[in-house]
Amino acid sequence: MVNLKINNIPVSVPEGSSILDAARLAHVEIPTLCYLKNVACVGSCRMCLVEATGARGLVAACVYPVSEGMEVQTNTPKCRKSRKVTLELLLSKHKKKCLSCERNNNCELQRLSVEYGADEDRFEGELQNTPLDDSNPCVVRDNDKCINCMRCVAACKKQHVGAIGPIGRGFHAHVGSAGGVQLKDSSCVGCGQCVVACPVGALTVKSNIPEVQAALEDPAKHVVFFTAPSVRATLGEAFGLPVGTNVEGKMVAAIRRLGKCSVFNMDITADLTIMEEATELLNRIQTGGVLPMFTSCCPGWVRFVEQTHPEMIPNLSTCKSPQEMFGGLLKTYYCEKNNIDPKDLFVVSVIPCSAKKFECKRPEMNGEVDVALTTRELARMIKTAGIKFTELPDEAFDDPFATCSGGGTIFGATGGVMEAALRVAAKTLDGKFEVVDFPEVRGTNPIKEATYKVAGKTIRVAVASGLENAETVIQSLQSGEKKYDFVEIMACPGGCVNGGGQPTLPDSVRNNVELRDERAKALYASDKQNKLRLSSETPVIDCLYKEYFGAPNSHKAHEVLHTSYKPDPRV
């Protein structure tokens, strides 16, 4: 341990820690723009400059190591002056369209400029007048708002995608894709991790709010919303509630107040996905099919396979994601049961993920989901409608898609799909198998492994979140180092609770709170409280198979609930 003082406050930190790490223990907030915990740490923005004994001049707290007896001052006139000048220089070439910016009142540059009294006109700069790139179905880039912090580049690199990077030098340095191509022609998989890393409004998720509002106002449209498992654990953050607050009831009530619509629970088709996926896995094991079988519920991960590992496409489950299963279910079974023409049904999914916007446009999905809204977009619609979210009563989802199992709920956390599938697979193989909790696949460790013996069969599983870790798993499989039967992959680190469409929180929260852990706790708590723990126990699932599909993996189920994938033509 190293002993030092931060603003005269004694602290002890492990050797190799930075001044920024030490400051956190002293409960001192040092401003940052390029630094983001677990994503980027390069010391390039110079906002975190501090005075430290033994150093010549100001040093970057995020990268400068502590030493025994060091004394650090973070709030001297010299520090404040340096930060103010840095902000004014950034503002000199920043498109200051704050009032119409999605990040207004939630922008790190704006917040720090107010705190340090920065004069936005002190230096006369020049905008590069870069055209807005809205070619991608998921992400929009406005380089005139970019401050070159490179957090988005670091996030993309960490995802093992590398769709964007630094281009040019000096004043003309900017972030773009190799060869100057638009985002739609890059290797972007739509995960949106670049968006949540961006401290300003240079990167945003493409909005579909106008389409949803138009459908709600169209008397000829029958509008249906359904919400993904993790949204209930994150939506409250957009309204000032603590991280990890379960707002399921208020979420349902708020959506109903947006206009005439039905509000369903996507956990139902998470349960349906498990029934199909667990059956498919057992069939592959019993018939010598392609193993390991990879989950296919994450569109960012699926696209990553199509682009970088097309040879692994046969390993993907043929199951659609819960979003697309619900779309298919609504445009067939639901429409038939309620005498609705499918063209009059407008289906809206509320999801934590920007890649879902791309997924619902895939030709393989037949346009069964009309629009995918992120958690952020739903929050914006609720605020625009003047709905006082925190004052709403708790309301239940609409029947028949209301009651789900705990297995469907934990889909939103890394390892949740695996655990839900293991519950059903184990019960199917051994009817007396009573274990419903599989703690080995829980938690936010990048890669988790486990081996289970059920009814004399050994099932080897792995769970990975974050595409960097997915690549590690693939490499270990292809080298023969590892052997698995079933692998769950989520593109976003921590799973859907950390998706690219989740609420944007300030750096002071992101750098000090383990968001993915706190959000996941809400889902596991809901699972624990649910009397139904297995997807096969969900009442409407039994009804669907008896009335419509016959059995999991039946011909009818394959028509509506399954799909196929193919290599990206650019590979």
Q: What is the mean pLDDT of each run of 10 residues along the chain (571 residues)?
A: 96 96 95 94 94 94 96 97 97 94 96 96 87 94 95 96 91 88 95 97 97 97 98 97 97 98 97 96 94 97 96 97 97 96 97 96 94 98 98 97 96 96 89 86 95 88 97 97 97 96 94 95 96 94 96 97 89 57
Whether 353 is catalytic is no
Whether 531 is catalytic is no
Q: Alpha-carbon distance 418 to 488, whole Å?
A: 6
User: Cis before residue 400, ω within 30 degrees of 0?
Assistant: yes
Alpha helices by DSSP H, 98-192: 108-115, 151-158
Helix (H) or strand (E) holding 140: strand 139-141
Return the closest-CA partner of residue 93 out of 130, 66, 48: 130
Give residue 339's pLDDT.
96
Whether 468 is catalytic is no
Helix (H) or strand (E) holding 78: helix 77-91
Whether 449 is catalytic is no
Among 191, 297, 360, 404, which one carries the catalytic annotation?
297
Look at residue 336 and give its three-state secondary structure: helix
Give residue 125's pLDDT.
84
* Cα torsion angle, 461, 319, 369, 398, sign: negative
* Cα torsion angle, 214, 266, 353, 388, sign: positive
For 214, other C-beta atoms within 10 Å of its C-beta total: 11
Return the closest-CA partner of residue 411 out of 267, 304, 513, 220: 267
Return the closest-CA partner of residue 250 out of 412, 397, 404: 397
Among 88, 277, 306, 488, which one carries the catalytic annotation?
277
Alpha helices by DSSP H, 394-500: 406-409, 416-429, 467-478
Pairing relationship of beta strands 49-52 and 222-227 according to DSSP bridges: unpaired
Which tokens go with 145?
């708002």
Among 364, 508, 543, 559, which one carries the catalytic annotation?
364
Give residue 455's pLDDT.
79
Give residue 571's pLDDT.
57
Q: Alpha-carbon distance 309 to 306, whole Å?
A: 6
Among 317, 354, 535, 536, which one carries the catalytic annotation?
317
Look at residue 234 and give its three-state secondary structure: coil
Look at residue 100 and give its three-state secondary structure: helix
**What Cα–Cα distance (Å) separates residue 457 from each residue in 266, 295, 384, 430?**
32, 20, 55, 10
Whether 277 is catalytic is yes
Give residue 569's pLDDT.
75
Pairing relationship of beta strands 345-351 and 371-374 according to DSSP bridges: parallel
Among 108, 248, 306, 359, which one carries the catalytic annotation?
359
Global model pTM greater than 0.85: yes
Q: How many helices (H) and strands (E) does the chain have?
A: 20, 17
Q: Map out the domains of the chain with their CATH numbers.
A: 2-75 (3.10.20.740), 101-202 (3.30.70.20), 207-571 (3.40.50.1780)
Q: Alpha-carbon distance 113 to 105, whole Å?
A: 12
Among 108, 237, 280, 488, which one carries the catalytic annotation?
280
The DSSP letter of residue 551 is S
Whether 98 is catalytic is no
Give residue 127's pLDDT.
83
Whether 543 is catalytic is no
Among 496, 526, 535, 537, which one carries the catalytic annotation?
496
CA 151 to chain centre: 16
List 11's β-bridge partners, or say none: 4
Give residue 129's pLDDT.
85
Whether 317 is catalytic is yes
